[in-house]
Amino acid sequence: MNLPTSASTDQTGTAGITLDQAVAGTVLPPLSYDVSATTVVLGALASRDWRPMHHDYKFATERNGTPDIFLNTPNLAAWFERFITDWTGSRGRIGRMTFRMRDSVFPGDHMVFTGNVSGSEIDETGCGWASLDISVSVGDRLCCNCTARVALPTDKNDNPWARKSDDWKP
């Protein structure tokens, strides 16, 4: 796979951001999505999560006491990754991500991801890092908080994906 190293656009032809564009307080573009039963089931299938609360309505409602089937953890993690990389472009490289689920996301929900840059730095190896605070909400209901540390190019010639071994310290 050839990764961009010096182009100002990523492989999709869209401009990727550089560290100087990720200052504290920068607001990330929101991501909205209408969740369907298919969204929930395919996410569970993709992550090989066969637990019935993610595909069996009767089990979820009668046995677990939830209103419906709901997004599983790996599915939600993938949505956070998409939210981050939609903002960074293909040269953004997630180093760390942690999140806490506070409430479930169900079919019929309209989930909205929002986030902002809480800080940025260049580490001792020269790698640029942005720290992000992200949340997903459904209406007024906060469903999940997330913090992430993502490597960003320090300039148009830098590529965090080229960093290996001692030069990669997420």
The token duo for 24 is 């504290």
Identify the DSSP state of 13. Answer: S
Put residue 51 in one of left, alpha, beta given phi > 0 → left and psi -120 to 50 → alpha.
Answer: beta
Q: Residues 125-148: pLDDT tens digits?
A: 999 999 999 999 999 999 999 999
Task: Quote the percentage of the chain above a pLDDT of 90.
Answer: 73
Q: Residues 7-61: pLDDT tens digits?
A: 344 444 445 899 999 999 999 999 999 999 999 888 888 888 787 778 878 988 8
Rounded Cα distance between 138 and 109, Å, is 6
Strand intervals (E) in 42-139 = 93-101, 110-122, 128-138
Rounded Cα distance between 99 and 74, Å, is 11
Please choose, from the candidates 153, 168, 159, 149, the residue with its C-alpha nearest in 3D space to the C-alpha of residue 80: 149
All domains of the chain in start order, with CATH: 19-167 (3.10.129.10)
- pTM, entire model: 0.87
Q: Residues 71-96: pLDDT tens digits?
A: 999 999 999 999 999 999 999 999 99
Beta bridge partners, 149, equal: 96, 131
